[in-house]
Each structure stands twice: as C-alpha cells, then as structure tokens.
Amino acid sequence: GPHDLSISGRWLAHCLNKHLPCNKPMPELQSLPSRLIELRPKGAQIRARLRLREELPGECRFVTLSHCWGKGHTYSLRSDILSAFRTDIPGEQLPRTFQDAISVTHELGLSYVWIDSLCILQDSTSDWADEAQRMAGVYGSASLNIAATASTSSDAGLLIGHD
C-alpha cells in the first residue's frame, strides 16, 4: 500500500550497501549542515530535536526534504526558539509535510532529517547566507531526498489523494 515503506526501506538499504555510486563514505562532519533534526522514539511517538553539527555522531546518514513553502506562514526556526528546538520540536505543531517527512525518515530506519525551514535560522541573514552556500552539498551528501512534488504548501503533506 501507499503507507507501507518496507519495500522502500529494503531498496534504500540495498542502494546504500550494494550500489557503488550510492555506497559512498559517510559525509565528513565539516560538510554536514550546521543543524540536523534528530529523531528518537518515545513510546509510540517520534520525538524530534535540533542537533548542532558538532553534536552529531561521526557517521551520520540523513534525509533531506524538498518542499514548497506555499503562500501561508510556515512553521520555521527563529533565533528566539532555537534553544527550545534543541530540546524538543513540537511535532503536533509542524505542517503536515514536515510531519510526514519525519515519519518516513523514521520508518526507513534513519535518525536524521534536514528541512530547510527548521534547520536554517529564518530570521538571520548571515545564517541563511552560510547555509545557502552549503545547500548543494547538503542535498548531495544526503542518503535520500524526499520530494513533496504534488504539494502546493507545507500543509498539504506527502501523500496526496488522487481522484
């Protein structure tokens, strides 16, 4: 079914372990983005928090999300909530596409995801400039990119119903 990711997980594992172009070394710590979202199970839920590059393990596979922000306000990282996000990102407040990307990442057995609006300080021009220079490398060193191609906003989610 559309929500069963077990075959996708097997494909990803095969790709990362057996497919030579994909079986590249883990990204060097300095080439990772400044922040990644770490996922950890808590009971039946997945808790998320922001981790700084220097806090990440030496071997860190991660997923990226490519999405359309849309016209409305997107839940995003700002300087005033950076400290709180390092403890917990309230998943229930996130747009549907972000929630879906977190779920997919977790279901695929990976613990880190990069979402631009949650990993780049949106109220800091210097952080945006620094992270924009890294963006091609971020997408290029990710184990997988999730593309929300059918969504017109972050609220639409990854799984769009069709008539």
Q: What is the pLDDT of residues 76-123, one digit of tens each?
A: 999 999 999 999 999 888 988 899 999 989 988 889 999 999 999 999
pTM: 0.83
The mean pLDDT of the chain is 82
C-alpha distances in Å from residue 108, one per residue of 79, 84, 87, 144? 31, 27, 23, 10
pLDDT at position 43: 78
Asked if the structure places residue 152 within a domain, the reply is no
Asked if the structure places residue 117 within a domain, the reply is yes
48 pLDDT more than 90: yes
The percentage of the chain sitting over the pLDDT mark of 70, rounded to a whole number, equals 73
CB contact at 8 A, 138 and 33: yes
- Higher model confidence: residue 95 or residue 2? 95
User: In which domain, by residue range, is 85 found?
Assistant: 41-146
CB contact at 8 A, 93 and 75: yes
First to last CA, the chain: 17
Asked if the structure places residue 24 within a domain, the reply is no
CA atoms within 13 A on the CB side of 130: 13
Alpha carbon distance 21, 129 (integer Å) = 30
Asked if the structure places residue 118 within a domain, the reply is yes
Strands 144-147 and 112-115: unpaired
Q: Which pLDDT band, with edges at 50, 70 and 90, does 159 fall under?
A: low
Domains of the chain: total? 1
Q: Which pLDDT band, with edges at 50, 70 and 90, does 21 fall under?
A: low
Asked if the structure places residue 122 within a domain, the reply is yes
25 pLDDT more than 60: no
Asked if the structure places residue 23 within a domain, the reply is no
